[in-house]
Amino acid sequence: MIDLFQVIVLALVQGLTEFLPISSSAHLVIPAMVLGWPDQGLAFDVAVHVGTLSAVLLYYRSDLATMATAWFGSLAGRGQTEDSVLVWYLGLATIPAGLVGLYGGDFIETHLRTLPVIAATTAVFGVLLGLADRRAGRLAPRSLTLPVALCIGLAQALAPIPGVSRSGVTITAALLLGLSRQAAARFSFLLSIPIIASAGMLLLARLLREQAPVDWLALGLGMLISGVAAYLCIAAFLRLLDRVGLMPFVYYRLGLALVLVVIWLV
């Protein structure tokens, strides 16, 4: 089991990078490679998933309550609204990534979690994010439709590949399809809820089968730190998005890719 200092660092990294378009996997690989830290373990993965999920649920609690009311109302025959339709969009857009996670997760974990792959995807998808951001500043935004939502969902199916970044690839796709920066980020963050919840439940099922001893203090601390960091990160990102755009994250990704290449070569 990792020690308390490692719990704090890894939980902070997970919370700060889960919703920024910079790839949490690219950051989590650096302590393991450079400092020789052990794998954080399945129980810790579950804890930080719960933390980041709690953050996005708390941030969008009002929106989610409105969406749930509208969706159940539509099932009861009270007609469709923009909020009830959005629930269907989110559900359908989640399916591609869910299928990749179920049927391709082992292959990705075994063959693609390498420094060259992570460095390459960090750079390539950083460039794509920059191109999408430039496009967003030049065109009038369009509305979210079912084809747009499905295309964003297909883009999210690439997210299990280390270095891609789930938020990064979904925001990139949304911008290329004509959504505004704020609309792209909102749909991306809402879309994270079912996928993080599903991943957390799968990890929990594996953990229960292993019946390994659990350090509840470390898990509670990891969940708390990742949750607080993720909440603050979402709030700051959305507040600054229209002011600074996404180019700072593009430059950061390119710099991170260079660091990963250096680590790999050394």
CA-wise closest residue to 3 among 52, 36, 34:
36
Which DSSP symbol is given to 19? S
pLDDT tens for 143-161 read 899 999 999 999 999 999 9
44: pLDDT strictly greater than 90: no
Specify whether the CB–CB gap between 222 and 48 falls below 8 A: yes
List, for residues 243-257, the tens digit of each pLDDT value.
Answer: 999 999 999 999 999
pLDDT band at 186 (very low <50, low <70, confident <90, very high): very high
Dihedrals phi, psi of 3, to nearest 5 degrees: -85, 180
Which SS3 state, helix, strand or coil, does residue 155 take? helix
Write the CA distances from 96 to 102, 129, 163, 169, 185, integer angstroms: 10, 21, 18, 14, 19
> Global pTM?
0.92
Give pLDDT tens digits for 215-243.
Answer: 778 889 999 999 999 999 999 999 999 89
Taking the C-alpha atoms of residue 204 and residue 48, their distance in angstroms, rounded to an integer, is 12
> What's the pLDDT tens digit per position in 87-129?
999 999 999 999 998 888 888 888 888 889 999 999 999 999 9
Q: Which residue has the tokens 């507040």?
A: 239
Please give the average per-residue pLDDT across 175-192, as a whole number.
95
Average pLDDT of the residues in 164-189: 95
Which residue ranges make up each domain of the chain?
Answer: 4-265
CB 229 within 8 A of CB 13: no
> What pLDDT, on a 0 to 100 scale, did the predictor assign at position 212?
66
pLDDT in tens, 48-83: 888 999 999 999 999 999 999 999 999 998 889 999
- Provide the H-helix boundaries in the chain: 4-17, 24-34, 42-59, 61-75, 82-107, 115-136, 146-156, 166-176, 181-210, 216-244, 247-265
Q: What percent of the chain has pLDDT over 70?
A: 97
Cα angle vertex 237, ends 132, 22, to 5°?
Answer: 60
